[in-house]
Chain A
Amino acid sequence: MRTWALIWGDINMATALQISNVSKSFDRKKVVDNISFDVRSGEVFGFLGPNGAGKTTTIKMVTGFLTLDEGNITINGYDRIKNYEKAMGCLGGIVENPEMYKDISGRVNLEMYARLHEGVTRERIEEVVALVGMQERINDTVKKYSLGMKQRIGLAQALLHRPKILILDEPTNGLDPAGIRELRDILKKLAHEENVAVMVSSHLLSEMQLMCDRVGVINKGRLIDVKTIDELTTLASGAVIYRILTPQTEKAAAILRTVYPDQIRAISTDFLDIEINREIVPAAITLLAVSGIEIFGAAKLETSLEDAFLQITGGGLTIE
């Protein structure tokens, strides 16, 4: 799937959302600092960062809640400020929690929202209600909904006018595991089959790993990197960390250092981690075995996005 996006990405993925040099300060504190990135049609773009990194602030600038101190945002080719209504017409989304009028039924909420867009028919409303699986409760007032149901209705509302760009801020909040899976499938389908640019922010990184094609990592208001999931999981050098289980860690490390200096990543009492290319692994193990080291096992350490993320944001590591 990811490969699919990558292959087609460079060929026919137009830039749907362009954020260039955007900054925002609250009370003289810079919350978003000179951020630039693109979201392309047909991809799911993950916007990742710890709490307070500036994710929601960036999203609120895109969705028109906040003014920009600097920079500009282009939505589907329309400037977000100069061509406000056209730009916003291409945009759908949920910011923070889905909020609806509580005394009004889900259906009327959707109808009210539909009225503000051109060309949303009654059939379209039924269609999105069916898509999010809310047919049975759609006539209840919103105050009777659970958080998950509100998320569903929020998604229905965001999709109502077939937006070119869909922005979801923490969309899996309040969804049960089945709901999360469903949402993931919906978003992937929208991006890959209907060519929608989907931007998702979350701190549920494992979730992003399964959902996104590319991720932008933001920390302390600065965009640290934009990479594909594969690029992120395979670290910058392309090398992989292998864990070798042995009680003689110090001896093994000494032997390995002679051939692969600076590649030992961790030494413990019963294992050591070494960062080497896949091809070299048999040679390294042979070398140890020949040297009389007792090897109980050797395995590739699966570098998760989470590790990469923590490494990037926490370790202050920059990957260019």
Chain B
Amino acid sequence: MNKIFALYKNELIKISKKNSVFIFIVLIIVLCFVLAGYTKSMEVAQSRFLNSVDQNQWSKDDLNYQLEDQLAAKEQIELQITGTADTPENQMELVSLAEQQASINDQIDMLQTALDKEIYINSEGSYLTDILSGLPALKADIRALEVAEAQSPNAAQENSLLVKKQLVSDYQAILDSKDFKEYVRIESDSINNDNTLSTSEKDIQIEYYSLWYKLDPNGMSQARDAAQSVTDMKRSLIDEIDYTSMSQGMTPMTPSQISDMENRLAVAEYKIQNNCLNLSDSVGYSWGSLDTVFMFGIYVIALMMLVLAGGAMSQEISSGSIKSLIIAPVKRWKIFTAKLLSLLSVGLLALAVLYIFGMLAQGLFFGFSSIPYVYASHGVAASIPFGFYQILSLLVSYIDIIVYTVFAFMLSVLTRNTAVAVGISIAAYFGGSTALNKMMELPSYEWLNFIPFASMSLNGRVFPFASMMLSLSNMDSGLKSASAFKAPGVTFSLIYLAVLLFCMTYTGLDSFNRRDLK
């Protein structure tokens, strides 16, 4: 053990004297600040652009433009109506034209109201824009009911007509008062009074409005989307049909999908309860900057490790410096082990540099983030603080680097040729992620699991809720068709990689132990 430690210490001294390591570490640090600064400049440019245009004026112009359109359409319709003779055979057409006229009037009404009350439909949405854009449809319903009522009156129709008319006037009152609380109350009431809905559906819908209010008492649309996602998940769980992703269609969910959904819901609810839901754009930039920094940082670290590992043994052999190691009273496996350990610890050191400077750069440009990583299993949610989650996530990314480092090291021992070892391992590293993506397009063959690439890039599998850190509705699970190849689970992958690492280490060690150093 002492010998291994002594060798390990020597290896660290040797690596520390290498210019390439120094250059890579500097590159990582520079990268952290450059990428974070770049993202910051994007954010600044975006907000400068938004500020340079008067949003309200722009919306107003847009509304006016639409209004002109509608007014023109109205004239057209009026001309058509006056041009059509009021004969029995033209009755159907006249009715349809009248309906078109009424709906255009509603549109004009809506646009006019929007202009008057300064509710800008096309800018960031809120409950007010919801009401406004819903009004024409509601009015059309009322007209249809009135026609039906005139032909064959009945109590249910009359009641529904009354309710809808009440709703219109309530809505109009809210457009004046701009009272979101009142809107929530009215919606809840109307859901309660709607006898066509089941009790559970009523609960879900009422909860939706109260959640919306809870998330944002101003009733803006981001909160609505979040509330909508939660509601969708709840509804999916009740019906056991996935409503959260578009492509899944209306197929029933499998038990594993159900438990997935339960966990996602638990995560969403945990975030709402603990107020760690982020509804602003700047979080996205801050997040994106760190994401980019870490992604590129990992690439640089991988490159550095492959360059170091690919030359670790072959360079010593070709330069002859291995001689002083061989003649020393240490067994060859100890030399091998110490070299491998020193390589991996240099990688960890680089990872620490990346973490510290990445977080620092994000903190300097965007302020230190505190969004926790929330995860759930068996429907019970818990959270990991932001900084700690980032450490774990980097360590999981490091698993791939370990595998490729050992691969490069093995090649270095086997071929005793630095160029071959570095070249092949870099090709494998950058080809690997592409290969995995290609594999995802294949049908789900069992043997695909045993291709090494399938067990790599574990981040998404170890932290499946990472995509929910920014927004609740941004789920990525539903995008792939159910029959396509799905990467194996974390446990399988870890066992597979452990076996793979063992085999590569053993091959390298055996070769190093037996082969002559001529």
Contacts and interface: CB of A to CB of B under 8 A. Distances in A.
Contact of A64 (B14, B17, B320, B327): B327
A89 B17 CA distance: 28
Interface in A79-114: 84-89, 91-93, 95-97, 99-104, 108-109, 112-113
Contact of B328 (A66, A88, A108, A109): A88
Contacts of A116: 3, 6-7, 10, 325, 328-330
**Residue among A87, A89, A99 with most chain B CB within 10 A:** A99
Given A84-B331, A96-B320, A115-B6, A65 B13 contact: no
B185 interface: no
Interface string B1-26: 00100110110011001100000000
Interface residues of A, number: 33
B517 interface: yes
B324 interface: yes
Contact of A99 (B14, B17, B323, B518): B323
A83 B250 CA distance: 72
A99 B323 CA distance: 7
Interface in A21-67: 26, 60, 63-67
B321 interface: yes
A67 B516 contact: yes
B319 interface: yes
B326 interface: yes
B324 A100 contact: yes
Contacts of A63: 326-327
Interface string B286-326: 00000000000000000000000000000000011111111
A157 interface: yes
Contacts of B10: 112, 115-116
A104 B6 contact: no
B48 interface: no
Nearest to B327: A63
B328 A65 contact: no
Given A64-B326, A64-B327, A93-B327, A99 B6 contact: no
B516 A101 contact: no
A68 B17 CA distance: 36
Contact of B321 (A65, A89, A99, A115): A99
A103 B321 CA distance: 12
Given A101-B14, A108-B13, A115-B6, A66 B516 contact: yes
A67 B17 CA distance: 32
Interface residues of B, number: 26
Contacts of A101: 14, 17, 321
B126 to A, nearest CB: 65
Contact of B14 (A85, A89, A93, A104): A104
B514 interface: yes
A283 B481 CA distance: 114
A116 B326 CA distance: 11
Contacts of A117: 328-329
B321 A66 contact: no
Contacts of B327: 63-64, 88, 91-93, 95
Contact of A85 (B319, B323, B326, B329): B329
A26 B7 CA distance: 31
B514 A112 contact: no
Contacts of B517: 60, 65-66
Nearest to A109: B324
B341 to A, nearest CB: 15
Given A88-B328, A116-B7, 16 more contacts: A60-B517, A65-B323, A66-B518, A67-B516, A85-B330, A87-B329, A88-B327, A88-B329, A99-B321, A99-B322, A100-B324, A103-B17, A115-B9, A116-B6, A116-B10, A157-B324
Interface of A: 26, 60, 63-67, 84-89, 91-93, 95-97, 99-104, 108-109, 112-113, 115-117, 157
8 contacts: A64-B327, A65-B517, A95-B323, A99-B321, A100-B321, A113-B328, A115-B6, A116-B330
